Copies of this chain bind each other. A is one copy, B any other.
Amino acid sequence: MGTTELRGEIEDFNYAYADALDCGRLTEWPTYFTEDGFYCIRSRENADAGLPVGLVYCEGMAMLLDRIDALIHTAMFEPRYYRHMISNTRVLGVEGGVIRSESNYMLLETLIDQNTKILQAGKYVDEFVKVDGKLKLKSRDCIYDSLIVQTALIYPV
């Protein structure tokens, strides 16, 4: 399979992933990962320094499920809308069944009575594998440029 075709598949994956989050179908989120899936949100500053510490750190399905469960039960005091804009998807290489890829993302947030703003911009550094013919995330490292203004609620990006 060519690189452009593979990019198309990854884009399809990312757009479905984003739609689940933007529409609040949070329980779908872990299904985008493999059983040993890794997920992390950390700042570009830390990533550049090789530091693994992040806002969110999940290793394996149990932690991914825990994360989303905590989020579902978090009280949100102000209603808000999220919307992902994902672009610039690049296939970096395929080796031993692992597809390395990067994409740029923006997470837009709209609070009632406020203008839409960029809550977070950054890049996904991803490793995909195919499970039963479908792409799954073996690893998604979300590296954000932005300072996150509210840390009470860490929504997946």
Q: Name A's B-contacting residues (CB within 8 A).
A: 3-5, 7-9, 11-12, 14-16, 18-19, 22, 44, 81, 83-90, 102, 104, 106, 108, 110, 112-118, 120-123, 145-147, 149
Integer count of this chain's copies in the complex: 3
Besides A15-B90, A110-B145, A116-B120, 6 more A-B contacts (Cβ < 8 Å) are A84-B88, A84-B104, A108-B121, A115-B147, A116-B145, A117-B118
A114 to B146, CA, bound (A): 8
Assess whether A116 is in contact with B146, with CB atoms less than 8 Å apart: yes
CA distance A16 to B3 in the complex (A): 13
Provide 27 A-B residue pairs closer than 8 Å at the C-beta atoms, listed in order of the A residue: A3-B12, A4-B5, A7-B8, A7-B12, A8-B8, A15-B88, A15-B89, A15-B90, A18-B104, A22-B104, A83-B122, A83-B123, A83-B145, A85-B85, A85-B87, A85-B88, A87-B87, A108-B145, A110-B121, A110-B146, A115-B117, A115-B118, A115-B146, A115-B147, A115-B149, A116-B120, A116-B121
